Amino acid sequence: MSRLSAVWLLLFAPLIAPLAARAQTPAPAPTDSLPAVVAPTASSEKLSESVPVPAPSSKPPGLDFNFFAAEPGSTPSADSAVKDANVDELSKKRRHRLEIHQTLGIATWILMGASCVVGQLNYNDLYGGGSGRGSYQMPHRLLVYPTAALFTATGIYALLAPTPYQKPLRFDTALVHRLAAIGATAGMLAEVALGFITARQADAGNPSGLKQMAQAHQIVGWTTFGFMTAAGVSWMF
């Protein structure tokens, strides 16, 4: 049991203890169904030996009630208190992880933008009538590795955030954010594959289809950046 749950239990112990005691004792029969005076008979004496009869209260029976007591079906038990504490704890954890997710997401977006710009310069240099010297190859590589790492970390933080309460699926900014994130993930996976294949093919000196591969890598890269931007912008509204 966590420390927070214990504190909750201590706080609610005065409320819970009488309720628990009340649950153990048999509930008195409704007073209006009983006769006002019951004459002691042989059968009733036998019954009193086998069944415990509640002691007569000094107060009038009509006033013997707890005004603040909830219905027996809806009494908060120790389980529900622990459950509430767990939800509270999971909510805190979720908030913490999503804050990290947000910071990482913004950093990924900045790096991805830089990768796209440098990647475009690299494409223009190698395939778009540039000098062909490959001056942007290394800067592009140096940018894309941390981008991919940050993107993965961002996604993992979002996926690892606990969901203590279920939310019905509806069209809102969260759904737009999720859809954009799914698109960005698909784009990123394609981007890694295309970039990897293009680089390996170039390193192997194989020119066949290289330009088309690089072009696809470029288009998917900008599209992925678009998805990332949509994911970020959707959270602002």
CB of 197 to other proteins, least distance (A): 5
CB of 159 to other proteins, least distance (A): 4
CB closer to other proteins, 75 vs 215: 215
CB closer to other proteins, 193 vs 233: 193
CB closer to other proteins, 18 vs 134: 134
CB of 215 to other proteins, least distance (A): 16
Rounded Cα gap, residues 119 and 140, in angstroms: 6
Count of Cβ atoms closer than 10 Å to residue 137 Cβ: 16
CB closer to other proteins, 8 vs 227: 227
CB of 66 to other proteins, least distance (A): 44
What b/e sequence results for 73-97 when a residue is b if at least 16 CB atoms lie within 10 Å of its CB, and e otherwise?
A: eeeeeeeebbeebbeebeeeebeeb
Residues that bind other proteins (CB under 8 A): 126, 132-134, 137, 152, 155-156, 159-160, 185, 189-190, 192-193, 196-197, 200-208, 210
Contact 220, 187 (CB under 8 A): yes
184, exposed or middle or buried, with CB in 10 Å at 0-12, 13-18, 19+? buried
Tokens of 38: 């019951």
CB closer to other proteins, 75 vs 86: 86
CB of 47 to other proteins, least distance (A): 56
Rounded Cα gap, residues 114 and 108, in angstroms: 10
DSSP states of 204-236 as a string? TT--TTHHHHHHHHHHHHHHHHHHHHHHHHHTT
CB closer to other proteins, 111 vs 194: 194
Contact 28, 54 (CB under 8 A): yes
CB of 8 to other proteins, least distance (A): 24
Rounded Cα gap, residues 109 and 185, in angstroms: 13
